């Protein structure tokens, strides 16, 4: 093939890199943002209340954290799906670029 017919291959390759980076950032962002809440729920869920007088407050804090995690769950799953599809699309774009180069 001539070099002029494959000038678009470089553009597809660069676009694939950008799409892959954005998709990877979406995946990483979702994991890192939710980490603090997941850790807090795990710590409170496995902890034993040392003082019976604080048990109601302890259970309320655990309930509030769980509610907060569940409120953001759909948005986080959507962000993960978009990121995963973007990474998959980047691989496909790189494949197409490699075939025609």
Q: For the chain, which residues make up each domain, given as ranges?
A: 9-100
What are the distances in angstroms from CA 43 to CA 5, 6, 38, 48? 59, 56, 9, 10
Residues 32-70: pLDDT tens digits? 887 877 777 777 777 666 677 777 887 888 788 888 888
**The pTM is what?**
0.71
User: Is there a contact between 85 and 23 (Cβ–Cβ < 8 Å)?
Assistant: yes
Distance between CA 84 and CA 36 in Å, rounded?
22
d(CA 37, CA 88): 28
The model's pLDDT over 59-69, given as tens digits with 9 standing for 90+, comes to 888 788 888 88
Question: No. of H helices and E strands in the chain?
Answer: 2, 0
Nearest-10 Cα torsion for 83, 88, 93, 94: 110
| In contact, 90 and 23? CB cutoff 8 Å | yes
Q: Give SS3 for 3.
A: coil
């Amino acid at each position: 093939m001539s070099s002029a017919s494959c000038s678009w291959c470089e553009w597809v390759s660069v676009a694939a890199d950008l799409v892959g980076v954005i998709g990877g950032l979406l995946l990483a962002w979702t994991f890192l943002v939710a980490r603090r809440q997941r850790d807090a729920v795990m710590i409170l869920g496995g902890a034993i209340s040392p003082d019976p007088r604080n048990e109601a407050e302890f259970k309320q804090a655990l309930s509030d954290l769980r509610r907060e995690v569940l409120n953001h769950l759909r948005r986080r799953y959507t962000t993960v799906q978009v990121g995963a599809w973007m990474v998959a699309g980047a691989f496909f774009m790189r494949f197409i670029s490699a075939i025609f180069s």
